[in-house]
Amino acid sequence: MKKIIIVIISCTIFFSLVCAITIYTSIRNLGAIKIENSTQTSLKIVGKVELKKSAITEKADVIGKVKVFNSTLNNIKTIGFLNLHDNSKVNGDIKVTGNLFMSLSRIEKQLNITSENIEINDNSYVRSIFVNKDEDNKEEVISIDNSIVDGNIEFESQHGKVKLKNGAKVTGTVIGGTVDTI
């Protein structure tokens, strides 16, 4: 009789988990995670994240290093280093506290960032950029190489520098900083 009850309980737990996994497509994790060829509604991670050929349809909250390859994000909030590569795209709100590196990628709305180092490279596109004032009040540098910022770049600290290389363009105004064409 005990074996039958244990089997029934085990089956119930197993099928409940399978149903929960099928219905609930959000990921919450502590530690490193790699997501490949997958669509998730949301992501809440403390640790290293790598996305390849994937989509986050609602919101990604990450504390840690994020590498994104050929993937689409709707909204992302990250504290740490963010890398966008290989036709990656952020369609919604983006808030980054940490460095940003972009290559062949797009940010469709304003980039809201707190960082001293921002690199936008290899035919990337950003709608506009607002750089929040950091507590250290150090100079913030945005390097744009063969890419476009299709709007304003504003430095809250008034200590910003934009470096343009290889035909890079800013279609709006740089507020609170200087522009160097290299």
| Each residue's pLDDT tens digit, 56-102 | 999 999 999 999 999 999 999 999 999 999 999 999 999 999 999 99
Q: Which amino acid is at 22?
A: T
Query: Once rounded to an integer, what is the mean pLDDT over residues 109-117?
Result: 97
Query: Once rounded to an integer, what is the mean pLDDT over residues 104-121?
Result: 97
Structure tokens at 160: 């910003």
DSSP H/E element including 16: helix 2-23
Give the up-direction half-sphere exposure of residue 170: CA atoms within 13 A in the CB hemisphere. Answer: 23
DSSP H/E element including 125: strand 125-131
Least confident of 85-94, 129-138, 159-168: 129-138
Query: Once rounded to an integer, what is the mean pLDDT over residues 99-120?
Result: 97
Q: Which band of pLDDT confidence, cut at 50, 70 and 90, is reported for residue 31?
A: confident
Cα separation, 47 vs 124, in Å, equals: 26
Cα separation, 78 vs 94, in Å, equals: 8
Alpha helices (runs of H) in 24-176, residue ranges in sequence order: none
Q: Which of 129, 126, 142, 48 is nearest to 91 (CA)?
A: 126
**Residue-range domain boundaries for the chain:** 27-181
Report pLDDT for 151: 98
Contact call for residues 52 and 39 (beta carbons, < 8 A): no
First vs last Cα of the chain: how many Å apart? 80
Q: How many CB atoms lie within 10 A of CB 68?
A: 26
**How high does pLDDT run on average in the chain?**
88
32 pLDDT above the threshold of 70: yes
DSSP H/E element including 149: strand 148-149
15 pLDDT above the threshold of 90: no
6 pLDDT above the threshold of 70: no
